[in-house]
């Protein structure tokens, strides 16, 4: 019996860093009715803290390598500072919430990404979402707030892509709830022209997606979001929306993903 609608919302790091936008987002989030889950990124604070602590950020072809120092900072900043502050802010808005990493209640189990040409370090891909445990909290009217940190079966904490975490949670929970996925980031939606903020494509179905891929219309940052979206859509998630910090209100333009 899937009678209730669960909303899984991902909020990007750049939006969290913008105090005005983040406050507006949280107000809209609190106003959502029914069970809900928030997954947050971390933005630049981890890089800033790592720099101050004298840790060097290692990159490979523009992608960050999560070494032992990096996962330490990520656990501090995303798993601690940002996560607990979001929970406290929700409590202040009378929205009972709990902050979790994937290690907590083994809610998100992952596997370390296999080493190919380069070892990206403590980076994981989601293997299993503990839907039963998550549901036990939702049933108590508690909003779950996840930092994008997962955990191997052997108890190793791994940095994990926030969009993937949100998509995997939505996918897993769709066995219990009608599930919607909202990916909120710094753009109004998927843009047809990255130089034009108003070129939002309002609907993308699989055929359109193929066209966009073939025409190389979509920029690199957007590709994983769309990949995750169609993966979720093909695995039980009912509706998927991409947009900015006001996406939850659905008053302005956004992108809807359809079959």
- Residues in the site for a copy of itself, rule: CB under 8 A? 49, 52-54, 72, 75-81, 83-85, 87-93, 96-101, 103-106, 133, 136, 140, 142, 149, 151, 153-157
Least distance between a copy of itself and beta carbon 240 (Å): 28
64 in a known ligand binding site: yes
Q: Would you say 52 or 116 has its CB closer to a copy of itself?
A: 52
Nearer to a copy of itself, 140 or 196 (CB): 140
Is 161 labelled as part of a ligand binding site?
no
> Of 54 and 215, which has the nearer Cβ to a copy of itself?
54
**CB 152 → a copy of itself: shortest distance, Å?**
9
In whole angstroms, how close is the CB of 71 to a copy of itself at the nearest point?
Answer: 10
CB of 193 to a copy of itself, least distance (A): 40
CB atoms within 10 A of CB 159: 26
Instruction: Give Dmax over CA atoms of the chain in angstroms.
Output: 53
Q: Report the nearest approach of a copy of itself to the CB of residue 82 (Å).
A: 9
Show the tokens assigned to 36: 């809900």
Q: Is residue 54 annotated as involved in ligand binding?
A: no
Chain-centroid distance of CA 203 in Å reads 21
Which CB atom, from 26 or from 237, has the smaller least distance to a copy of itself?
26
81 vs 253, which CB is nearer to a copy of itself? 81
Cβ atoms of 243 and 256 within 8 Å: the answer is no
The nearer residue to a copy of itself, 105 or 236, going by C-beta atoms, is 105
Tell me the HSE value of 41 on the side-chain side, using a 13 A CA sphere. Answer: 21
* Residue 42 marked ligand-binding: yes
Q: Measured from the CB of residue 3, what is the shortest distance to a copy of itself in angstroms? A: 23
Positions at the binding site for substrate: 42-43, 64, 159
């Amino acid at each position: 019996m899937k009678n209730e609608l669960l909303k899984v919302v991902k909020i990007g790091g750049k939006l969290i860093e913008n105090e005005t936008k983040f406050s507006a987002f949280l107000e809209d989030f609190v106003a959502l009715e029914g069970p809900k889950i928030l997954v947050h990124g971390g933005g630049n604070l981890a890089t800033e803290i790592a720099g101050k602590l004298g840790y060097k950020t290692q990159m490979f072809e523009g992608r960050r390598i999560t070494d032992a120092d990096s996962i330490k900072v990520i656990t501090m900043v995303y798993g601690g500072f940002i996560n607990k502050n979001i929970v406290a802010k929700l409590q202040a808005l009378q929205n009972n919430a709990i902050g979790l990493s994937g290690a907590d209640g083994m809610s998100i189990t992952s596997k370390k990404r296999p080493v190919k040409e380069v070892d990206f370090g403590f980076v994981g891909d989601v293997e299993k979402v503990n839907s039963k445990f998550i549901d036990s909290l939702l049933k108590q009217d508690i909003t779950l707030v996840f930092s994008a940190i997962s955990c191997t079966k052997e108890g190793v904490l791994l940095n994990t892509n926030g969009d993937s975490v949100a998509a995997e949670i939505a996918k897993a929970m769709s066995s219990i709830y009608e599930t919607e996925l909202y990916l909120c980031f710094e753009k109004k939606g998927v843009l047809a022209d990255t130089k034009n903020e108003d070129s939002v494509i309002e609907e993308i179905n699989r055929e359109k997606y193929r066209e966009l891929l073939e025409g190389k219309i979509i920029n690199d940052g957007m590709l994983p979001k769309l990949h995750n979206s169609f993966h979720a859509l093909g695995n039980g998630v009912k509706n998927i929306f991409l947009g900015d910090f006001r996406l939850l209100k659905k008053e302005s333009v956004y992108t809807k993903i359809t079959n």
